[in-house]
């Protein structure tokens, strides 16, 4: 068994009558040992799974799965455009990813973005990306309640977003917020901090 990471869509949880969501391909009865984190109300999960090679191949073969390389300590290198495209496809900020970054650093940022979305959902019942809002939407295009909620979420983490202007995109704001996570640890089967 190897610890692997995936980004997958959410589906209604059949074990709870569809009232909650679960990560697609990781239903609790399939025998896979995994931990997951949702992207708030956005229908996406980050999954860490102890998995064998055959099961990994089966899951990774699905077109709606983003599979992270087994060795997360290697840099993105020549896969930069593919990594950025995959993240953007899930509405995960990606323009900040560079050739030299390791997958481990990228996974930590993804986890922080997901924590921000969870906090927005928990505090206000809001989604980061309601209809009409994308990574490229400017903050000035959001409603005042949406901007206020994002500012309150930042404050709840003790982060400063006073530098944000109406011309910033949602992607820029999320990255600015995530940068303030700093040295806090993220453990997902392994220490996600570098």
Alpha-carbon distance of 116 to 154, in angstroms, equals: 8
Q: Encode the chain (194 residues) as per-residue pLDDT tens digits.
A: 899 999 999 998 777 666 788 899 987 556 788 899 999 999 999 999 999 999 999 999 999 999 999 999 999 999 999 999 999 999 999 999 999 999 999 999 999 999 999 999 999 999 999 999 999 999 999 999 999 999 999 999 999 999 999 999 999 999 999 999 875 565 555 444 45
pLDDT of residue 26: 87
pLDDT of residue 82: 97
124: tokens are: 């206000």
> Interior CA angle at 24 toward 94 and 79, to 5°?
30
pLDDT of residue 193: 47
pLDDT of residue 31: 73
pLDDT of residue 87: 98
pLDDT of residue 187: 56
61: tokens are: 């073969």
- Strands (E) across the chain are located at 2-12, 21-23, 33-39, 42-51, 66-67
- List, in order, residues 6 or more apart from 73 with CB less than 8 Å away: 102, 103, 104
């Amino acid at each position: 068994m190897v610890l692997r990471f995936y980004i997958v869509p959410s589906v209604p949880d059949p074990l709870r009558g569809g009232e909650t969501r679960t990560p697609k391909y990781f239903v609790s009865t399939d025998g896979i040992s995994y931990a997951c984190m949702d992207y708030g109300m956005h229908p996406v999960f980050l999954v860490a799974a102890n998995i064998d090679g055959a099961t990994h191949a089966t899951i990774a073969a699905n077109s709606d799965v983003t599979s992270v390389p087994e060795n997360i300590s290697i840099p993105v290198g020549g896969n930069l455009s593919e990594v950025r495209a995959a993240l953007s496809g899930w509405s995960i900020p990606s323009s900040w990813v560079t050739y030299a970054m390791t997958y481990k650093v990228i996974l930590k940022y993804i986890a922080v973005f997901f924590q921000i979305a969870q906090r927005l959902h928990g505090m206000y019942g809001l989604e980061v990306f309601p209809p009409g809002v994308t990574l490229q939407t400017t903050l000035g295009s959001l409603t005042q309640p949406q901007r206020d909620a994002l500012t309150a979420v930042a404050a709840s983490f003790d982060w400063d977003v006073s530098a944000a202007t109406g011309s910033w995109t949602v992607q820029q704001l999320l990255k600015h917020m995530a940068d303030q996570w700093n040295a806090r640890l993220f453990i997902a089967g392994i220490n996600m901090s570098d």
